[in-house]
């Protein structure tokens, strides 16, 4: 960055209040902001002492949010103040360490985005299948798109006009990608093959990792299984009521699904986001395996030692697993 003499109008004082200052050049382009926070890495106005959790908009379909979901959200929010102790696989995603040897944690504004996204995902998850979306009485399922998740999380891209459609912000996509890599959920992109041969995109299928839920330290395996069983019974009840009200339509839907199975072609293709296709199978990257091993270790530790706090579990995981580069080197030499 270069410094050059220029005139800067302070937005807080109005356009008429121009003062001579030293303008900052971003390459060959004048930097359009005052630059008070340059050098700190924080140019988005984020205040670490005041995280923007208020951006989350709780969905209106909850008359009273179930206790397990509320506990998971509270545990995810605790990750902000104790990232390495709560979810080291996410907080130290790049596997780097400081000069003192302590694992580096991700930035606070990144943690806020990750927490807002997990809140949106948890509030939209159908826990019997752990898919993100809404089950239908006819046996169908409505996946929640990333636009809907970004809207709930308060991370939509700013629009220049009201006519523009809502889009997730770059901050949402960065947080979403980090959560996926850390094993919070799998993403299966899908499209529909149209009659004319064209392809039509459909909302991706997102499935939450149960180990990620347990690793938060909010609920036990037994409590999660009880809640999933309860949700499964609710879905079965919904479908029984639909069959009772619409028997002909219900039988027709069942017959259509059976015909598609017999044909071996549903018209919908899916593939796993972030994985390369190799000989019709999806191969996980080394970093995916590393993150999954840490999550599995934390979940197993929580299962065997329910008396341990999330901080204790996170510290044990940090001691058990080296940084990613060291872990990868050891695996390659095995």
Predicted pLDDT at 89: 85
State how far the alpha carbon of 308 is from the alpha carbons of 67, 74, 187, 202, 236, in Å. 21, 17, 31, 42, 36
Q: What are phi and psi of 266, to 5 degrees?
A: -90, -10
pLDDT, averaged in runs of 10, over the chain (334 residues): 44 46 70 65 68 89 84 94 88 82 86 96 95 91 92 92 88 93 86 71 85 91 94 94 92 84 62 44 62 83 82 82 76 63
State how far the alpha carbon of 133 is from the alpha carbons of 101, 115, 121, 138, 204, in Å. 42, 19, 9, 15, 10
CB 68 within 8 A of CB 216: no
Predicted pLDDT at 292: 80
CB 175 within 8 A of CB 88: no
Predicted pLDDT at 38: 63
Q: Helical H runs in 206-274?
A: 210-215, 221-245, 247-263
Give DSSP secondary structure letters for 264-305: T--SEEEEETT-EEETTEEEPPHHHHHHHHHHHHHHHHHHH-
Predicted pLDDT at 325: 74
Distance CA 50, CA 38 (A): 20
* 3-class secondary structure, 318: helix
Distance CA 134, CA 83 (A): 31
Predicted pLDDT at 6: 44
**Taking the CA atoms of the chain, what radius of gyration do you get in angstroms?**
24
Predicted pLDDT at 57: 92
Predicted pLDDT at 70: 93
Nearest Cα to 153, choosing from 138, 165, 168?
168
Distance CA 90, CA 105 (A): 9
Distance CA 171, CA 290 (A): 25
């Amino acid at each position: 960055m270069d410094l050059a003499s220029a005139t800067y109008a302070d937005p807080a004082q109005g356009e008429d209040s121009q003062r001579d200052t030293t303008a900052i050049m971003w390459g060959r382009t004048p930097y359009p902001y005052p630059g008070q926070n340059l050098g700190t890495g924080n140019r988005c106005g984020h205040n670490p002492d005041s995280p923007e959790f208020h951006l989350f908009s709780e969905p209106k379909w909850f008359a009273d949010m179930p206790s397990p979901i509320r506990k998971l959200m509270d545990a995810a929010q605790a990750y902000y103040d104790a990232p390495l102790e709560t979810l080291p696989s996410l907080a130290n995603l790049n596997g780097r360490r400081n000069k003192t040897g302590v694992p580096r944690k991700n930035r606070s504004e990144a943690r806020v985005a990750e927490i807002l996204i997990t809140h949106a995902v948890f509030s939209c998850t159908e826990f019997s299948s752990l898919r993100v979306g809404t089950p239908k009485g006819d046996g169908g399922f409505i996946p929640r798109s990333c636009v809907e998740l970004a809207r709930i999380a308060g991370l939509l891209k700013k629009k220049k006009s009201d006519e523009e459609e809502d889009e997730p912000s770059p901050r949402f996509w960065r947080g979403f990608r980090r959560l996926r890599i850390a094993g919070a959920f799998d993403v299966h992109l899908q499209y529909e093959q149209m009659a004319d041969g064209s392809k039509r995109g459909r909302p991706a299928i997102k499935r939450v990792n149960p180990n990620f839920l347990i690793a938060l330290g909010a609920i036990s395996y037994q409590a999660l299984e009880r809640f999933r069983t309860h949700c499964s019974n609710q879905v079965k009840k919904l479908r029984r009521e639909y069959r009772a009200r619409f028997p002909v339509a219900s039988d027709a839907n069942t017959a259509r699904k059976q015909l598609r199975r017999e044909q071996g072609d549903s018209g919908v293709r899916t593939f796993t986001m972030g994985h390369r296709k190799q000989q019709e199978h999806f191969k996980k990257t080394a970093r995916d395996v590393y993150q999954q091993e840490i999550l599995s270790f934390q979940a197993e530790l929580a299962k065997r030692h329910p008396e341990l706090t999330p901080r204790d579990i996170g510290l044990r995981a940090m001691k058990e697993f080296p940084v990613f580069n060291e872990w990868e080197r050891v695996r390659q030499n095995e």
